[in-house]
Structure 1
Amino acid sequence: MDFGLDEDQQTFAKMVHEWVDKEAPKSAAREWEKNEHEFPFELWDKLAAAGFHGIGIPEEYGGQGGDVLTQMILARELSRSLAGLTWVWGITSFAGGKSVGYYGSEEQKQKYLPRIAAGQDKWAIGFTEPGGGTDVLGAMRTKATKVDGGWRISGQKTWSSMSHVADYILLLARTDDNVAKRHQGLTLFILPTKSEGVQINEIPKLGMRALGSCDVYLDDVFVPDENVLGEANKAWYMLLPTLNNERIMLSSFCVGILDGVLEDALRYMHEREAFGGPIGRFQSLQHHVANIAMWRDQAELMVFKAAWMQSLGRDCKRESTMAKIVASELAGQGADLGLQILGGMGYSAETDMQRYWRDVRLFRIGPITNEMARNTIAEDLGLPRSF
């Protein structure tokens, strides 16, 4: 078994690593994150100039190509510095690049993918509804009604990150109430955010403050038929395969955050002096940093396995879900120990440890809670459904 990257992947990882240190260092990430309600357009433009928005989009549509392993490498290297701000790249990559690339008509691919690859369009996701959280199906109240030439949509979405600056929202709505099961009768729409009847309000939150997460209100919004993604009433069957990619991407963020945590902890332990010498000589702190390193490698192995399986077209539902749980929980533990190692400086906004700690906390909650993810693993192992 070979757990290493091939030569091209190593070259790509090295290139992104050096790009991050030059164009998106931790000092810049701190500044972008301080501007709580100002989206980091500078970062978006830097990612566009580097061609990163085109990763995963086929070359025939203006992209750079690259499989899930390439995307995972990019996500990890960006997260080492940007932490949760890596979603500035990730949301559009998933909502637009992946979804249109997988399920869009040829006309939709020709229209949207080149603009995504060039960094000209931003996308957001509109799945979650108030009172729903992980229970997307049970909470679904957004309704799309068929009219001449399109659909009329009313309802509300929440936690739609980047929707306040996005050009489009990948919107999930119920289009048929007369169904036997809740996952039936759902449709995906490509919703232009400038449509009449759309109102977007930003939500204050703990981490990833500059990214912006929003409530989206839809009041009789018209969406033309040409903006239906895939087949009407079949959205849930389309979404399930893409969930593995989303969980692998998030898990890669967590591995990258652990890279950053370990990097900062080691640097501080070499530089900080107390009681007559560097604090790196203290055994208790050595144990802390050893734990962070072990957790990073554990998460890395699980994420690589899931990504490798998906790259081969194999079913990786269980593996990607396990990777999401393990990586998010170990990254949280690692960031917490990083705070402990830095002491008061870890709590200070002048360092990045508190930023890692705040950003990674969300990953145990979304896009699926770790409790619900454990339920799906247990069910996949043959146990009765618990919800």
Structure 2
Amino acid sequence: MMGGREWMDWMLTAEQVAFRDTLRDFVDREIPKAASRDAERVDGAYPHHLFDRLAKGGYHATGVPVEYGGRGADLVTQLIQARELSRSLAGMIWIWGSTSFAGANSIGLYGSEWQKKEFLPKIAAGDLKVTIGFTEPGGGTDVLGALETRATRTQGGWLINGAKKWCTSAHVSDYVLLLARTNDEVARKHQGVSLFLMSPKAPGVTLSPLTTLGMRGLGTFDMTMEDVFVPDELLLGQPDNAWRMLLPTLANERMLLMGTCLGIIDGVVEDTLAHMKSREAFGKPIGSFQAVQHHFANILMARHQTELVAFNAARLADAGADTFLEVTMGKVITSEHAVAAADLGIQIFGGQGYSGDNDMQRYWRDARLMRFSPINNEMARNLVAERHGLPRSF
């Protein structure tokens, strides 16, 4: 690859390098960038063909334990997958990432043996889709403070009432990983909440489509629930203890986000370099102009920093370290670098970068989400400061 892209191969095992190279070839052959651009032009029409291509390559199995039909890959390998897919898919990486986070990771960590045997092989084979239902209409980063969805005991299960927002791909998902309050008699708001696997097709569920700036081809929905029955076997883990269960999986989500940001920057680098060599102005390629070269150098330096931060966090996590600070800081650093890189790419492309006929504007739209989701960068900075002994600011 150009420009010493593989400088960090020394950080990877031979197996991880082989996985990356195989996946990169697969993406270039099976999932060209135009496929993502075309898919999002029909807002909310889920790109089943892209999901199926990943199933064909066995890439839904990456994070699933071997004993349940998966690859059992470590976090470095999952980071590599997020990166390589995002070169082409950008924000639509979540056709893999949502099920990986909500399904493979959460069920793999906290599911009963029956749940693991029932769901994980289907996820690995690409036969099951899972989305996330955490955010409420009245909240965003303050997930617990805004949590009004309730699950109440009934014979053989639970009745769920409430509403969720930003349920991406809910219209094609088999299950929603749903956060609901199950006990109001608690000392602190992180107590008394539970996780459920709820079918978005169940009686009592209503989906309303949302228009979004990015990830258009996946479809994003508001979801309301009125007396939706969920059987006991679809309660995930222990009741009333969901928040402590979620903390490791939220760290995994931030890891995948860092890989997504890194892949977006890869796409920006590749497309910008090609444009700088082919586009001419005043009788010579625009890549010969000093100001343009400086913009491009800034993109490369942003990628370099992003790569160091992301792979350091993944390696520490695989070694069993507490990576709360690394993934929280990394989420901020990588998302801001990705947005800045895409913005510089648009500047280099000029009017062409503003056009929907190329990917530069799509990189920016997809990266922009990462600065406030799944936690906004301002709140992430608060958490970093608090971990260093400063008083809580919220």
Query: TM-score normalized by structure 2?
Result: 0.97
Q: Which residue of 2 aligns with 1:336?
A: 343
Q: Do 1:86 and 1:253's aligned partners in 2 also have CA atoms closer than 8 Å? A: yes
Q: Which residue of 1 aligns with 2:4?
A: none
Q: Which residue of 2 aligns with 1:30?
A: 37
Among residues 137, 140, 151, which one is paired with 1:133 in the alignment? 140
Residue identity matched to 1:254: C
Residue identity matched to 1:368: I
Residue identity matched to 1:94: F
Does residue 56 of structure 1 match 2:63? yes
Q: In 2, Cα distance between the equivalents of 1:318 and 1:2?
A: 25
CA shift at 1:56, angstroms? 1.0
Q: Which residue of 2 aligns with 1:191?
A: 198
Does residue 276 of structure 1 match 2:287? no
Q: Which residue of 1 aligns with 2:5?
A: none
Q: Do 1:164 and 1:201's aligned partners in 2 also have CA atoms closer than 8 Å? A: no
For structure 2, the 5+ residue unaligned runs are 1-7
Q: In 2, Cα distance between the equivalents of 1:139 and 1:100?
A: 25
Among residues 299, 322, 331, which one is paired with 1:324 in the alignment? 331
Residue identity matched to 1:4: M
Among residues 349, 353, 360, which one is paired with 1:346 in the alignment? 353
Aligned positions of 1:121-270 closer than 5 A: 121-270=128-277
CA shift at 1:37, angstroms? 2.0
Among residues 302, 305, 308, which one is paired with 1:298 in the alignment? 305
Q: Which residue of 1 aligns with 2:88?
A: 81
CA shift at 1:29, angstroms? 1.4
Among residues 21, 30, 40, which one is paired with 2:47 in the alignment? 40
Residue identity matched to 1:315: D
Among residues 313, 319, 330, which one is paired with 1:312 in the alignment? 319
Q: In 2, Cα distance between the equivalents of 1:289 and 1:5?
A: 27
Change (3 A) 1:201 1:311: same
Residue identity matched to 1:270: K
Note the alpha carbon deviations across 1:41-100, whole angstroms, 9 max, x for none. Answer: 000100111111000111211112201111000000000111000011100000000000
Q: In 2, Cα distance between the equivalents of 1:65 and 1:21?
A: 24
Residue identity matched to 1:317: F
Q: Do 2:9 and 2:17's aligned partners in 1 also have CA atoms closer than 8 Å? A: no
Residue identity matched to 2:387: D
Q: In 1, Cα distance between the equivalents of 2:155 and 2:97?
A: 35
Residue identity matched to 1:381: H
Q: In 1, Cα distance between the equivalents of 2:38 and 2:180?
A: 37
Q: Do 2:194 and 2:242's aligned partners in 1 also have CA atoms closer than 8 Å? A: yes
Q: In 2, Cα distance between the equivalents of 1:348 and 1:186?
A: 45
Does residue 94 of structure 1 match 2:95? no
Q: In 2, Cα distance between the equivalents of 1:62 and 1:224?
A: 26
Q: In 2, Cα distance between the equivalents of 1:2 and 1:170?
A: 36
For structure 1, the 5+ residue unaligned runs are none
